[in-house]
Structure 1
Amino acid sequence: MDSNKKYWKGLEELNKTPEFVEKNKHEFAEPIPIEEVLSGAGLSSKTPRRDFLKALGFGVGAVTLAACQKVPVHKSIPYLIKPEEVTPGVANYYSSTFEGSAILVKTREGRPIKVEGNPNDLLSKGGLSAHAQASVLDLYDGGRVKDPMLNGSDAGWAQVDTFVKNELAAIKGAGKGIRLISSTVHSPSTLAVIADFVAAYPTAKHINYDAVSYTGIIQANQNSFGKAVLPHYNFDKADVIVSFGADFLGTWISGEEFTRQYVQNRNNKSLESKKMSRHIQFETGMSLTGTNADVRIPVKPSEEGLALINLYNAISGTSLPGSKPLANATVDKAIMIAAKELQAAKGKALVVAGSNDVATQILVNAINSMLGSYGTTIDLDNPSHQYAGNDAELVEFINEAKRGEVGAVFFMDANPAYNFYANADLKEALKKVRLKVTFADHADETSELCNVLAPNHHYLESWGDDNAVEGYYTIMQPTINPVYNTRQAEQSLLLWSDSPVKDYYTYVRNNWDKNLLAKGGLAGQSGWETLLQNGFIKVADAAAGTYTFNQDLNAVAQTILNQSSKLAEGNKMELQIYQTVAMRDGKRANNPWLQELPDPVSKVTWDNFAAMAPADIKKLGYNQGDLVKVEANGYSINLPVLLQPGQAQGTVSVAVGYGRSKGGAVVEGGIGQNAFPFHSFRNGTFQTSSPATITALGDTYLLAQTQTHHSYEGRNVIREASFKEYVKNPSVNSGNEGEHKKYSLWDEYERPAYNWVMAIDLNACTGCGACVVACNAENNIPVVGKLEVSRRREMHWIRIDRYYSFNEEGKEITEEREIDKLENFDNVSVVHQPMLCQHCDHAPCETVCPVLATVHSAEGLNHMAYNRCIGTRYCANNCPFKVRRFNWFNYWNDSRFDNYLNNEHTQLVLNPDVTTRFRGVMEKCSMCIQRIQAGKLHAKMEKRPLKDGEVKVACQQTCSANAIIFGNVNDPESEVAKALKSERTYYVLEELNVQPGIGYQVKVRNTSSELQA
Structure 2
Amino acid sequence: MESNKKYWKGLEELNKTPEFVEKNKHEFAEPIPIEDILEGDGLKSKTPRRDFLKALGFGVGAVSLAACQKVPVHKSIPYLIKPEEITPGLANFYVSSYEGQAILVKTREGRPIKIEGNPNDIFGKGGTSSAAQASVLDLYDSSRLKGPMQDGGESGWDAIDTYIKNRLATTKASGKGIRLVTSSINSPSTLGVIADFIAAYPTAKHVVYDAVSYTGIIQANQNSFGKAVLPHYNFDKADVIVSFGADFLGSWISHTEFSRQYASNRAAKALEEKKMSRHIQFETGMSLTGSNADVRMPIKPSEEGTAIISLYNALSGNTLGGGKKVSNAATDTAITLAAKELMAAKGRALVVSGSNDVATQILVNAINSLLGSYSTTIDLDNPSKQYNGNDAGIVELVNEMNRGEVDCVFFLNSNPIYDYYDAKAFKAALGKTKLLVSLSAYRDETAAVSNIIAPQSHYLETWGDANAAEGYYTIIQPTINPVYDTRPAEQSLLVWANAPVKDYYTYVRNTWEKTIMPIAGLSGQAGWEKLLQTGYVKAAAKPAGTYTFSKDLNAVVQTIAGHASQIAASGDGKLELQIFESPNLGDGKKANNPWLQELPDPVTKVTWDNFAAIAVKTAKQWGLEEGDWISITANGYTIDLPVLYQPGQAQGTISVSVGYGRTKAGKVGEGVGKNAFPFATYRNGTFQNSIVADVKKTGALTYVFAQTQTHHSYEGRNSIIKEGTLTQYVKNPESITGKGEGKENYDLWDEYQRPTYNWVMAIDLNACTGCGSCIVACTAENNVPVVGRDEVRNRREMHWIRIDRYYSFKDGEKSVTKEKEINKLDDLDHVQVTYQPMLCQHCDHAPCETVCPVLATTHSSEGLNMMTYNRCVGTRYCANNCPYKVRRFNWFNYWNDSRFENYIQNEYTELVLNPDVTTRFRGVMEKCSMCVQRIQAGKLKAKLEKRPLQDGEVKMACQQSCPTNAIVFGNLNDPNSEVAKALKSERTYYVLEELNVKPGIGYQAKIRNTTVTGA
Confirm or deny a common fold (TM above 0.5): yes
Which of 940, 944, 969 is the aligned partner of 1:941? 944
Q: How does 1:444-843 map to 2 (within 5 A)?
A: 444-571=444-571, 572-668=574-670, 670-699=671-700, 700-714=702-716, 715-738=718-741, 740-808=743-811, 823-843=826-846
Asked whether the equivalents of residues 249 and 766 of structure 1 are also in contact (C-alpha less than 8 Å), the reply is yes
Cα offset for 1:73? Answer: 8.9
SS in 2 for 1:475: strand
8 A Cα contact 2:142 2:906, kept in partner: no
SS state at 1:639 partner: strand
Moved more, 737-746 or 955-964: 737-746
- State the Cα deviation string for residues 801-832 of structure 1 (Å, max 9, x = none): 00000112699xxxxxxxxx994211201000
1:986 to 985, 989, 1007: 989
Does structure 1 residue 975 correspond to structure 2 residue 978?
Answer: yes
Instruction: Quote how far apart the aligned CAs of 1:35 are.
Output: 2.7
Report the CA distance shift for 1:58/1:401 in structure 2 as closer, same or farther (over 3 A). farther
SS of residue matched to 1:8: coil
Judged with a 3 Å threshold, the aligned counterparts in structure 2 of structure 1 residues 913 and 517 are, in CA distance, closer, same or farther, namely same
- In structure 1, the partner of 2:246 is 246
Match of 2:888 among 872, 885, 888: 885
Please say if residues 193 and 493 of structure 1, whose CA atoms lie closer than 8 Å, have aligned partners that are also in contact.
Answer: yes
Say whether the 8 Å CA contact 1:893–1:918 is kept in structure 2.
no
Give CA-to-partner distance per residue, 1:425-464, whole Å, 9 cap, x none.
Answer: 1111001111110100010000111101000000000100
Correspondences of 1:358-507 after superposition (within 5 Å): 358-507=358-507
Deviation by residue 1:325-367 (Cα, 9 ceiling, x = unmatched): 1211111111100000001100000000000000000000000
Q: Which of 1004, 1009, 1013 is the aligned partner of 1:1010?
A: 1013
1:634 deviates by 1.1
Residue matched to 1:816 = none
The equivalent residue for 2:31 is 31
Superposition deviation, residue 33 in structure 1: 3.1
Corresponding residue SS for 2:699: strand
The separation in 2 between residues aligned to 1:683 and 1:755, in whole angstroms, is 61
* Contact kept in structure 1, 2:800 and 2:888, CA below 8 Å: yes
Asked if 2 retains the 8 angstrom alpha-carbon contact of 1:612 and 1:651, the reply is: yes
Q: Which amino acid aligns with 1:131?
A: A
| Structure 2 Cα separation of the partners of residues 155 and 928 of structure 1 | 46
Distance 1:711 1:182, change over 3 A: same
Partner of 2:817: none
Distance 2:425 2:514 in 1: 43
**Distance in 2 (alpha carbons) for counterparts of 1:604 and 1:43:** 29
What TM-score do the two structures reach when normalised by structure 2? Answer: 0.96
Given the alignment, which residue of 850, 853, 861 partners 2:856?
853
Offset of residue 766 of structure 1: 0.1
Instruction: For residue 735 of structure 2, give the secondary structure of its aligned residue in structure 1.
Output: coil
- The TM-score normalised by the length of structure 1 is 0.96
Separation of aligned partners in 1, 2:341 and 2:416: 43
SS in 2 for 1:7: coil
SS in 2 for 1:733: helix
Deviations 1:362-404 (A, max 9, x none): 0000000000000000000000000000000000000000110
CA distances 1:941-968 after superposition (whole Å, capped 9, x unpaired): 0000000000000000000000000000
How far apart, in 1, do the equivalents of 2:482 and 2:408 lie?
Answer: 28
Separation in structure 1 between the aligned mates of residue 150 and residue 39 of structure 2, nearest angstrom = 39
C-alpha distance in 2, partners of 1:324/1:38? 70
Given the superposition, is the C-alpha separation of residues 877 and 75 from structure 1 closer, same or farther in structure 2, using an over 3 Å criterion? farther
Write the distance in 2 (CA, Å) between the matches of 1:282 and 1:895.
47
Per-residue CA distance 1:806-863 (angstroms, 9 max, x = gap): 112699xxxxxxxxx9942112010000000000000000000000000000000000
**Amino acid of the structure 2 residue aligned with 1:908:** L
Counterpart code for 1:341: E
1:64 aligns with one of 61, 84, 87 = 61
Among 872, 876, 889, the residue aligned to 1:873: 876
Q: Give the deviation of 1:322 after TM superposition.
A: 3.8
Q: Does 1:350 align with 2:350?
A: yes
- One-letter code aligned to 1:316: S
RMSD: 2.2
Q: Does 1:276 align with 2:276?
A: yes
- Residue of structure 1 in register with 2:820 after alignment: none
Could you say which residue in structure 2 is the equivalent of 1:126? 126
Distance 1:336 1:844 in 2: 53
**Structure 1 counterpart of 2:911, from 908, 911, 915:** 908
**Cα deviation per residue 1:221-250 (whole Å; 9 max; x = unaligned)?**
000000000000000000000000000001
Query: Which residue is 1:258 aligned to?
Result: 258
Contact map agreement 1:893 1:902 (CA 8 A) in 2: no
- Measure the CA separation in 1 of the matches of 2:653 and 2:46: 35
Contact 1:188-1:465 at 8 Å conserved across structures: yes
Say if 1:767 and 1:832, in contact at 8 Å, map to a contact too: yes
Structure 2 counterpart of 1:642, one-letter code? L
Aligned partner of residue 96 in structure 2, secondary structure: strand
CA spacing shift, 1:38–1:905, aligned 2, 3 Å: farther
Q: CA deviation at 1:579?
A: 1.1
> Structure 2: which amino acid aligns with 1:773?
V
Give, in angstroms, the shift of residue 28 of structure 1: 1.0
Equivalent residue letter for 2:920: R
Letter paired with 1:194: I
| Native 8 Å contact 2:184 2:388 kept in 1 | yes
What is the DSSP-based 3-state SS (H/G/I as helix, E as strand, rest coil) of the residue aligned with 1:690? strand
**1:662, 1:901 → 2: CA distance?**
18
Provide the residue aligned with 2:17 in structure 1: 17
Amino acid at match of 1:745: L
- Shift of the alpha carbon at 1:896? 8.7
Change (3 A) 1:601 1:981: same
The residue type paired with residue 963 of structure 2 is: S
Which structure 1 segments of 5+ residues have no match?
A: 812-820
State the 1:693 CA deviation.
1.3
State the distance in 2 between where 1:596 and 1:893 align. 18
1:817 alignment counterpart:
none
Alpha-carbon distance in 2 for matches of 1:256, 1:773: 15
In the TM superposition, residue 502 of structure 1 has moved relative to its aligned partner by: 1.0
- C-alpha contact 1:187 1:466 (8 A) present in aligned 2: yes
User: Identical aligned pairs, as a percentage?
Assistant: 70
**Across the two proteins, how many residue pairs are aligned to each other?**
995
Any conservation in 1 of the 2:43–2:897 contact (CA below 8 Å)?
Answer: no
* 5+ long unaligned stretches in structure 2: 815-823
Q: Which amino acid aligns with 1:859?
A: E
Aligned partner of residue 334 in structure 2, secondary structure? helix
Inter-partner Cα distance in structure 2 for 1:323 and 1:431:
51
Give the conservation status (yes or no) of the 8 Å contact 2:5–2:812: no
Alpha-carbon offset, residue 745 of structure 1: 2.4
Deviation at 1:154, TM superposition (A): 0.5
What CA distance in whole angstroms lies between the structure 2 residues aligned with 1:997 and 1:419? 47
Deviation per CA, 1:194-222: give whole Å up to 9, x if none: 00101111111111110000000000000
Q: What amino acid is the match of 1:640?
A: P
**1:161 counterpart = 2:161:** yes
Aligned partner of 1:185 in structure 2 is 185
> What amino acid sits opposite 2:672 in the alignment?
I
Q: How far has the Cα of 1:900 moved from its partner?
A: 5.4
> Is the Cα–Cα contact under 8 Å of residues 520 and 537 in structure 1 kept in the other structure?
yes
Displacement, 1:521?
1.5
Cα distance between partner residues in 1 of 2:442 and 2:145: 5
